[in-house]
Amino acid sequence: DVAVTGCVAAVAATGSIVTGGAAGRGGALIAPVHVCLVERRRLFDGLLDVLRALPAIGVGSALSFQSGPSRTADIEKTLILGMHGPKAVHVVVVEGDADS
């Protein structure tokens, strides 16, 4: 029911998390509730700051930027949240290494 993961980076301005690399992207998309642990050193002010830092982080190009539940509406304009991923995402900023 709940997935707890780390992330490659997080964007403070949008509340987005960046998943991928060795941790993969699937864990953040399967459970209805996702709790993401973000190391303070991986928290960036804006998207451009994350993009500039990616070569130094060394995670490759298979990344996923997630900014909350997916939204979709059918022809009848019925809004559904979390159709393709979790319905709720909680981000917890931690000091030090989230793996320890």
Strand order in the sheet with 16-20: 43-44, 9-11, 16-20, 63-66
User: Maximum CA pair distance of the chain?
Assistant: 48
User: Is the pLDDT score of 77 beyond 80?
Assistant: no
Supply the pLDDT for residue 33: 86
What are 5's strand-pairing partners? Answer: 36
pLDDT single digits (tens) 60-72: 777 888 887 667 7
pLDDT single digits (tens) 24-39: 566 667 788 889 999 9
The answer to whether the predicted template modeling score (pTM) of the entire model surpasses 0.85 is no
Q: In the structure, what pLDDT confidence band is assigned to residue 12 with cuts at 50, 70 and 90?
A: very high
